[in-house]
Structure 1
Amino acid sequence: MIVNTTTGGAFAINVAWIEPNATDNSGETPVPVADYTSGDNMFPIGNTTVQYNVSDSAGNFNDSCSFVIIVEDNESPIIDCPTNVTSNNYIGEGYGLVNVSTDIGSPNATVTWDPPVTSDNSNGTVTVVSSPFESGDMIPIGTYTITFTATDPYGNIDTCDFGLKVEDNEDPVLGCPPNITTTTADGSNQAFNVNWTDPTVIDNSGGNITLTSNYSSGSNVFYDGSTDVIYYAVDSSGNAAMCKFTVTVTGEHNPALLLF
């Protein structure tokens, strides 16, 4: 007989079967006896042999029979997901997500969590794995579902999960060139096509950076005086940085000739 464990237990209780009948040449009806009684018993996980023996009133032991009770554990373990999730840049929880920021200067966040709490009716060792990341991993920018799978010694499983969002909240680092002083073109109050090296940009995400400015190197017109050249850098997460330098235009202009 194949039976399941009783819910919550490492055994099956009160397993019932049809007890064997015995006959004897004396005309008596001997009663078979066994170590287990149908409907009033307890069997552990695994195989247990139930053997019936019979003898008559004259003391003749003539026969026996046996069968096996196979108790299977088909009950899943119980797993409770961790509630203590930590990071160097923990933000908080909302909308079913644990929100963290990337580590300073990194495109990843180092995230740790307590081991899930598990139990199993078999009292055996429950193995837990998490996917796609494990506690202590460096997790890239993005939104993830961390799934924990608990497996008992008999292959029964249970799962739980929590949502994790790694955000990039770190601004790019933008380095403008030094201030520039130049002169006007002859006879003009303007300087044309002033050149400089575009700013250097560093961003922790390693992603694309959008760089914009109010003037372009080599294609511009600056008038007498000082003008701010302003650059903006925006990363793929919307974090922005600004820097500026000054172009100063100086020069002597020819006096105007008035005709009368």
Structure 2
Amino acid sequence: ATVLVPDTALGTATATDNCFTPTVTRSGVPTGNLFPIGTTTLTYNAADLVGNTATATQRVTVVDDTPPTITAPPNVTASTVPGTCAAAPAIGSATASDNSGIVAVTSNAPASFPKGTTTVTWTATDPSGNTASAAQLVAVNDLELPMIIAPANVTVTATSASGAVVSSAALGSAAATDNCPAVSVSSSGIPAGNLFPIGTTIITWTATDASGNTARATQTVTLSYAVCLLYDPTKPAKLGSTIPIKLTLCGADGTNLSAAATVVHAVRLTKANDTVSGTPEDSGSANPDNDFRFDPTLGVSGGYIYNLSTKNLSSGTWSLHFTVNGQGDYTIQFQVK
């Protein structure tokens, strides 16, 4: 950059001599009187008629107080690098110009940007120390889901017809991790008072990170009856005969929990140490639909009986599989000879 300084602004040197009026000349003025930024020294020379000379100097200082111009690159949005809570996206470069033709551009951008929004300040500086700045926003979003592992499934024997209380300690807790700090774990599906009904209850564990990303895992809590046999499973029955399979549904302490409204349904037969299996057959019509019949005279307060036919079986140890109210896989054994 240059500045026009006319001769009228520069002025005229004055010179005197003891004999004659001297001649004054000037050197150092740029072409067209266009002075560059900084200091330019002009030399004035006075000479008399006999060749005696004298010189004087004038300094012309052009001060640059015009700041540069700068434009920040566009804002940037990126996602965290998997397994980390930061990103290192390409953010581009600012563009700058100055009247001097020379400008340096710097920024305070970090090597890696944390989750959230970071303001990057770009600064342009010219040789005279004038500065200008512009801002760029770099937003890093966390889209990575947490990881969660549910506690182990739990199997408990009922303590009453309502089920059983399973403590929080017995249920355990889910373990969760995330690429960013602050992940919380919640659960749903736990009954009031931790009183779980007989059957299978699904607990859903949810991990939620600070960005609202979620992951889920499930745990099953299975409550079943204890089976109290009212026959001797080691006493073999004659092949072709009928075995009166008698039992009660008990609590963990042996309390009889049998009830007429509870449906005990025979499902299948399997033979020990063999691949043979079959469908239970009742003798007569005492067990329609393969359901055990409730008998209030069995046990202390009633139980169940299934008149099992052995005519299509073979000798050996067999297992009778049954469900209770359509749930579970209960197994009892009997012998055939």
TM-score, normalised on structure 2? 0.59
User: Does 1:49 pair with 2:26?
Assistant: no
Give the SS at the match of 1:112. Answer: coil
Q: Tell whether 2:171 aligns with 1:191.
A: no
Change beyond 3 A, Cα 1:247–1:115: same
SS where residue 81 of structure 2 aligns? Answer: coil
User: Which has the larger displacement, 233-242 or 63-72?
Assistant: 63-72
Alpha carbons of structure 1 residues 236 and 201: separation in structure 2 relative to 1, 3 Å: same
> Does structure 2 conserve the Cα–Cα contact (< 8 Å) formed by 1:74 and 1:154?
yes
Tell me what 1:167 maps to.
141
Note closer, same or farther for the CA distance 1:37–1:31 as it changes in structure 2 (3 Å cut). farther
Partner of 1:21: helix, strand, or coil? Answer: coil
Q: How does 1:227-246 map to 2 (within 5 A)?
A: 227-246=201-220
Aligned partner of 1:130 in structure 2 is 107
Post-superposition offset of 1:31: 4.6
Q: Which stretches of structure 1, 4 residues or longer, exceed 6 Å deviation after superposition? A: none
Question: How has the CA–CA distance of structure 1 residues 38 and 206 changed in structure 2, closer, same or farther, with 3 Å as cutoff?
Answer: closer
How far apart in 2 are the matches of 1:62 and 1:35?
15
**RMSD (Å) for aligned C-alpha atoms:** 2.9
Q: What 5-or-longer segments of structure 1 have no aligned partner?
A: 1-8, 84-96
Change (3 A) 1:13 1:26: same
Q: Is the 8 A contact 1:78 1:118 kept in 2?
A: yes
Q: Which amino acid aligns with 2:137?
A: G
Code of the aligned partner of 1:71: V
Query: What CA deviation, in whole Å up to 9, does each residue of 1:123-156 have, x standing for no partner?
Result: 44x332212x24xx22111222211112223322
Higher helix share: 2
- Structure 2: 5+ residue runs without aligned partners? 226-248, 251-255, 260-295, 302-337
> Once the two structures are superposed, what CA deviation does each residue of 1:41-79 show, in whole Å capped at 9, x if it has no partner?
1333333221111234x3443433212222333332333
1:176 paired to 2:161: no
- Between the aligned partners of 1:116 and 1:37, the Cα distance in structure 2 is 38
Q: What residue number does 1:153 align with? A: 127
1:176/1:244 contact within 8 Å kept? yes
Shift of 1:26: 5.1
Residue 100 of structure 1 deviates from its aligned partner by 2.0
Residue equivalent to 1:213:
187
Q: Which residue of 1 aligns with 2:73?
A: 82
Give aligned-pair identity as a percent: 32
Say whether residues 1:248 and 2:239 are aligned partners: no
Deviates more, 1:168-177 or 1:15-24: 15-24
Q: Does 1:204 align with 2:169?
A: no
TM-score (norm 1): 0.75
